Chains A and B, each alone.
Chain A
């Protein structure tokens, strides 16, 4: 096989391809606009998700200071008759 035969083989391939060339379509510059629209829509959706996440995440209530804190079981210390132990009984009247 020589160069001429090789050229002929390529020419046949070229003819076969030429029969299937799609028509020239004026480049759709709107493709770029379309891409931009898709990009901006995605960016907006991401922003919306971030805002929703910030709003929806429950916030922890403010912590009380240690001096103001009362244990929830403090009421158990309030026993019945406790006021008797907080005062001294008056014995003057009983001496006479």
Chain B
């Protein structure tokens, strides 16, 4: 995989990384850097079983999850006084975007991920299933339940 391909997919990758990192922009950038290094060093190889974007999204998701696990262990090990709380300036969105983000936060993680992959990234449910490493049936269930809940929450607000 060439750098040019990574660069081309960078905006979409960043958006997905943002989603995997609970919209923490610094963490999303760190995750992306880790993913790019992993790919360029050959530790993650594209095997052609899905589209490049789907595979890249799966790598981003795994890397973000691994970093989150490491951070959780570190936070458990470090005493509270030793933690460095970094204030992150909140990003301002339009009112409708804020309402959508707020409604998405209330969904189960898998449901939110499937919906974001389908509606935000214009992926099919099949590709979303591959990116999330779940079966197609599971992805369909998450999609249907998630969409139902999201629509119910957004009804009348947007």
- Which A residues have a C-beta under 8 Å from some C-beta of B? 1, 3, 5-7, 9-10, 12-14, 16-18, 20-22, 24-29, 31-32
Contact = CB atoms under 8 A, between A and B. Distances in A.
Interface of B: 3, 6-7, 10-11, 14-15, 18, 25, 29, 33, 36-37, 40-41, 91, 93-94, 96-97, 100-101, 116, 119-120, 147, 150-151, 154-155, 158
B144 to A, nearest CB: 12
A22 B14 contact: yes
A5 B158 contact: yes
A13 B93 contact: yes
Contacts of B14: 17, 21-22
B96 A12 contact: yes
Main secondary structure of the interface of B (DSSP, over half): helix
Nearest to B19: A17
A-B pairs with lowest CB-CB distance, top 5: A27-B36, A10-B119, A24-B10, A24-B7, A13-B97
A26 B6 CA distance: 9
A12 B49 CA distance: 32
Tell me the dominant secondary structure on chain A's binding face.
helix
Contacts of B36: 27
B120 A14 contact: yes
A14 B40 CA distance: 27
B40 A21 contact: no
Contacts of B11: 18, 21
A12 B94 contact: yes
A9 B154 contact: yes
A32 B40 CA distance: 12
A42 to B, nearest CB: 16
